[in-house]
Structure 1
Amino acid sequence: MTLGSSVLASAAPKTPGVTAKQITIGATVPLTGIASPGYSDVAKAANAVFQYVNKKGGVNGRKIKFILKDDCYGTPGFGCTGIPNTATQTRALLSAGIFATVGSLGTPTQDSVRTLLNANHVPQLFVNSGSLDWNNPTKYPGLFGWQTSYNVEAKIFAKYILATYPTANVCYLGQGDDFGADGLAGLVAGGVTPSDTQLYSVGALVVTNGASIAPYVARFQSDKCTVVVLDTIPGATDATLGAALKLGYTPHWIISSVGADPVTVDGPFSKYPIPDPEIGAVSFSYLPASTATNAWNTWDRKVLLADKTDFPNFTATTPITGNMTYGIGWGVAFVEALKATGRNVTRAGFLKTLTHTTFKQTPALTALRYTPTNHQGLSGGYLVTVTSASATKALTGQVYTTDSGSGPVKPIKAVAPSIPAWLK
């Protein structure tokens, strides 16, 4: 009987990417190219978390190996030195025998490899995008989002617009994919229908080096739009603010968290003797504001300072960007889920942990909660305002939650910052 059990155990299939001492994961991200400003720091910040944990002995005795592949946001040109094809880079990760992809970035890029990863039974975890596409557990059981959806973010924006600018002429510029479509749907569901809606092409943004955005801004000015909502990546945010600056156009800007990080957005303007044109804009967050007194902000700095490979020039006074906190946020979520899974790590076991655990000890101000029928991720956040070229602060501090449908936007109590003892 003992011999038979031993034979069966030795014949049990091994989980790809998992050995006795290591778990190997990977991601496709824009390390170079049009989307790399700011976004290139996201996965590096997550890796800083993994390296910090590795130095403490790993998670349940296993260290984390994180393989990054540069897909340039699937767009060639403008400094792209990677392979601007997400499928090609994802296949390279599959060949490396990864346990899962974790934190791959982009709506169109990750949409393009859902079927590939699903067919190979490789989990596609914590996609860096707020698209509703990640919440389809019936068709893609291993696919999980992480951040609050663009739809929910926009519904919270709508509540703010209706309360603050009830008679405003609202216009909208969004990316011409699910990013823009979901954001627009959220505004409308929240009771705000823009008088003018424009969708930009990432391809045109790249080919024209941002010049394709200027006609939209001129149109908004001509239409006398007093509030402009942007669902834009940082390069498009820069192009929008730059075009408005040239026209002397100063609407109230409301910018998706995806494209509002102050340090990233100010980059192209910092060489000119002008204030950052983003100052005063309203955005959204589900993580601590950079000016907040929060235990996670202190921990973030410690982790980034310790990673001299990814952040060799980071010092005790370097601003922590929104993209850094974003990467740290899902990096912590992954190690927490891995810790909760226990020593016996399988793909099925990890996914079960995700769908049956509420994670309250991550940097997010709302609990991270998945279920077998909901793989979206965070479901709320709060409004912030840009106060300088490197900082944001909470507008009121009130955290809200809602759904991606017609449900109301409701105030909730923020999750108190609490760092797990094993991570300190």
Structure 2
Amino acid sequence: MLRTLGLFAFAVCVNAPTQAAASSKEEIKIGQTLPYSGPLSGFGVIGRAQEAYFAKLNADGGINGRKIKFISLDDAYSPPKTVEQTRKLVEQDEVLMMFGTLGTATNNAVHRYLNSKKIPQLFVLSGATKWADPKSFPWTMPGMAAYESEGVVYAKHILKTKPDAKIAILAQNDDLGKDYVAGFKRALGDKAAKMIVSEATYETSAPTISSQLATLKTSGANVLFGAVVGKFSSQMIKGVAEIGWKPDLMFVPTSASSITFLEPAGLDNATGLITSSYQKDINDAQWANDEDVKAYFAFMKESLPSADPRNTNYATGFLNAHLITHILKACGDDVSRENILRQATSMKNVKLPLLLAGVTVNTAKDDYLSFQQLRLRRFNGKNWEGFGELLDDQ
């Protein structure tokens, strides 16, 4: 075993990419893994939107004279596959950075490796608190609001609108679920013990969550907080309706709010569902004449004409592609890993297409959280409607 590990370490050292190989005067290589197959394959369109965005960018001359070579590989939301594909991107394709890889468990499988090689792992599509740890993992940065922040916002809403609530919690049994629940309980404070009447978890490998929902219903809870993603979002929404449970309030994470996950559950069943966001909902009528939203739909029509532009995961890809483009433009002629990290950790009041009014991106060497402001949204049976003011986790 020790001999095997020694050979592995030697191979990594030999195959380590050079800065010159990862970028040149003509090209910048960006790597990514996403679930194009498997239980969370609905998120794969994020990469498709970014691929189309970079293609359009290249057609217009690229960034500071360099073209983007974007290599996005399927990891099926499987950590071992993420390790395999990431090593391929780093050691064979010799990418300059990793960008927008999705998932807590998947990114957890590679972030020590990437940090040890000082390769930027930027704008991870996971809100786990661990991605904002500049002291221990300076080369890794989150690309969405922290799960704990979302949990705090939902708890604040319950305390304000239904202080006598009986709350049931269903959470994915991993860092994602634990972070959501930690923020949620932190905001409830000493009221958590009385208000939370039942909790259940599920494994991502589980075929269904039917038994958990049945157990939670028997608790008499009238509020359901679901820290669920992917197919489990659909299962929760549909499952609650099928067992005749009608919680007064039901919450899901921002990442579970795509129409892709609501339609299989039945849009009627999703009516009244609450989530949050820091970006404009492209399907909300209030933004129909917004310049950012019109630009997004124009992009989709031109670059991905056969795709469903209503799918908000495309909008996520579009937004984050602008974010990484901002960083690379700010690098000027110095497209080194060190300068990329320097620019990513010194953003000041950066405005991006599709962000809600008042929301800007701010980072610092000791603060890696890109998005820290949220607004609640409620599903009306057709689309999401924002309500209330911008909130944070303080």
Instruction: State the TM-score, normalized to the length of structure 2.
Output: 0.88
The question of whether the paired residues in 2 share the 8 Å contact of 1:286 and 1:380 is answered with: yes
1:253 corresponding residue in structure 2: 250
Measure the CA separation in 1 of the matches of 2:23 and 2:104. 28
AA in 2 matched with 1:61: G
Alignment of 1:367 onto 2:360: yes
Partner residue of 2:387 out of 365, 380, 395 = 395
Q: How does 1:376-391 map to 2 (within 5 A)?
A: 376-389=369-382, 391=383
Match of 1:277 among 252, 266, 269: 269
Query: In 2, are the aligned partners of 1:265 and 1:278 still within 8 Å (CA)?
Result: no
More helix by share: 2
**What CA deviation, in whole Å up to 9, does each residue of 1:251-291 have, x standing for no partner?**
12111111121x21233246xxxx53112101111110221
Instruction: Describe the superposition over 1:32-59 as per-residue Cα deviations: whole angstroms up to 9, x where unpaired.
Output: 111112x111122222322222222111
Residue by residue over 1:371-411, the C-alpha shift from the partner in whole angstroms, topping out at 9 and shown as x without a partner, is 1112222112100111234x212123x11123xxxxx3xxx
Number of aligned residues: 363
Query: Counterpart in 1 of 2:9?
Result: none
Q: Distance in 1 between matches of 2:24 and 2:364?
A: 28
Kindly indicate whether the alpha-carbon contact (under 8 Å) linking 1:234 and 1:264 is maintained by their aligned counterparts in 2: no
Amino acid at match of 1:334: I
Residues 180-259 of structure 1 mapped to structure 2, 5 A cutoff: 180-191=177-188, 193=192, 194-204=196-206, 208=207, 211=208, 213-251=209-247, 252-259=249-256
CA deviation after TM superposition for structure 1 residue 319, in Å: 4.4
Cross-structure match for 1:355? 345
Aligned 8 A contact 2:37 2:74 in 1: yes
The alpha carbon displacement at 1:14 in A equals: 4.1
3-state secondary structure, aligned to 1:313: coil
| Identity, % of aligned positions | 26
| Equivalent residues in 2 for 1:51-200, closer than 5 Å | 51-74=55-78, 85-94=81-90, 95-191=92-188, 193=192, 194-200=196-202
The structural deviation recorded for 1:102 is 0.3
CA distance in 2, matches of 1:279, 1:42: 25
For 2:348 and 2:51, how far apart are their aligned partners in 1?
A: 23
Report if aligned partners of 2:237, 2:265 keep a CA contact under 8 Å in 1.
no
Distance 2:309 2:299 in 1: 14
Q: Report whether the alignment pairs 1:306 with 2:302.
A: yes
- Unaligned runs of 5+ residues in structure 1 are 1-12, 76-83, 403-407, 409-424
Structure 1 residue 24 corresponds to structure 2 residue 20? no
Gapped runs of 5+ residues in structure 2?
1-17
Question: Structure 2: which amino acid aligns with 1:250?
Answer: K
Instruction: Give the 4+ runs in structure 1 shifted more than 3 A.
Output: 13-16
RMSD: 1.7
What TM-score results when the alignment is normalised by the length of structure 1? 0.82
- SS of the aligned residue for 1:195 comes to strand
